[in-house]
Amino acid sequence: MNTTDMEEIKNRIKELTKKHLEQIIKDRRYLHQHPELSFEEFNTSAYIASRLKEMGIPFRDKVAGTGIIATLKGKSEGKVIALRADMDALPIQEETGLPFASANKGIMHACGHDAHSAVLLGVAHILNHLKEKWDGTVLLIFQPGEEKFPGGASLLLKEGALDHPRPGLVIGQHVLPDMPAGHVGFKPGMYMASGDEVYLTVHGQGGHAALPHTLNDTILIASHIIVALQQIVSRMVPANIPTVLSFGRIEGLGATNIIPEKVEIAGTLRTMNETWREKIQELIRKIAEGTATSMGAHCAVDIKHGYPVVHNHEESTKKAISLAKNFLDEESVKDMDIRMTAEDFGYYTHQFPSVFYRFGVKQRTGKTGALHTPQFNLNEEAMETATGLLAWLAVNF
């Protein structure tokens, strides 16, 4: 395609996005009002299926349980790429006061997955409308269970849902509440951390707190274990490998004068290096077990292997940055820093060249709220940027 043709397509994408924005927002509000938890996205899947049927786009359903993969073919054979959106919500009671707030008690789209899915439906409409203008095949992945281990991406890949046809590139995007609407951000290479769950259970002889010499002080032992494990990050991991080991829960059901027989500890391990990820897990086991043993108790260690590092394909991400600047402008495309949060999109990045980026959803006025909070309220204006850019990237790739 020559430059003139591409300019024409770019303008058509922008026109179609504006024309279809009302429907995109309508889709998002429906999904927001009817959120469903991970791997329970039955109504969500049915709604997306109905919208694809309206557009005459073929799809496979029941992928990884509740997922959908739609297929769009251009005017002739060519490359195969995949665009991914997640569908699940979180176990949070919404407090936004929106007229389309969650109707499902204790469940909320507090991470923007409603917008991700609505945007991908918008992209489906645009690419379908322009299918005589591009070559190849675009797979539209509406993925379940991003928020819950083992992650919908891992199940989808395990069952071979992307084997035939196999994409040469997978693209995903995610809302970012502290970035203004209309802006996007990219990071080539290592972008997001792996995420493992760490569960430690200290077992010992409980008893009367006034007679410490007759028992194992499991509370004290648990404290020593937590302090000792912090030395992994500060003294054992190379300083140039970002790593976080944090414990958010410790539970010992004793009393002022009772030392419990069991203390449970739960935390998270994040790192940007898969090799060190494995080494750290082994260090956690040795230190926790060794500390407990040295103090006359026992520590059971259970590390749930979570999402891998998100690694953006360098060449493809740099091309995406250039395309984004062409579609938007230089000032609207930002360089992102690494994030220690985790994403199951990482599974795609370890099997296919992949690009995962952010689009800003900060409100112009008023409170946007943070991700995973009851007050999260994204700026719907951002969905025009997200839809148009994703369609533009798809056509170009």
Q: Structure tokens of 219? A: 């509370």
Instruction: Please state, as a whole number, how many other Cβ atoms lie within 10 Å of the Cβ of residue 73.
Output: 17
Quick check: is 289 catalytic?
no
Give CA 130 to chain center in angstroms.
29
Residues with Cβ < 8 Å from 155, sequence gap 6 or more?
64, 65, 145
Burial 121-139 (b: 16+ CB within 10 A, else e): bbbbbbbbbbeebbebbbb
DSSP 328: S
For the residues of 337-378, what is the DSSP string, one character each? PPBSS--TTHHHHTTS-EEEEEEEEE-SSS----TTSTT---
Which residue among 36, 86, 94, 146 is the active-site one?
A: 146
Cis peptide before 308 (omega within 30 of 0): no
CA dist list (Å): 152 to 143, 325, 340: 6, 32, 20
Quick check: is 146 catalytic?
yes
Tell the residue number behind the tokens 């250039």, with chain if given: 322
DSSP 309: P
CA dist list (Å): 246 to 6, 223, 251, 286: 49, 13, 15, 17
| Bridge partners (DSSP) listed for residue 271 | 243
Residues with Cβ < 8 Å from 26, sequence gap 6 or more?
none
Distance, CA of 250 to CA of 252 (rounded, Å): 7
For the residues of 247-275, what is the DSSP string, one character each? EEEEE---BTTEE-SEEEEEEEEEES-HH
Q: How many CA atoms lie within 13 A of 131 on its CB side?
A: 18
How does strand 184-186 pair with strand 354-362? antiparallel
Cis peptide before 58 (omega within 30 of 0): no
| Bridge partners (DSSP) listed for residue 116 | none
Q: Which residues are catalytic?
A: 88, 146
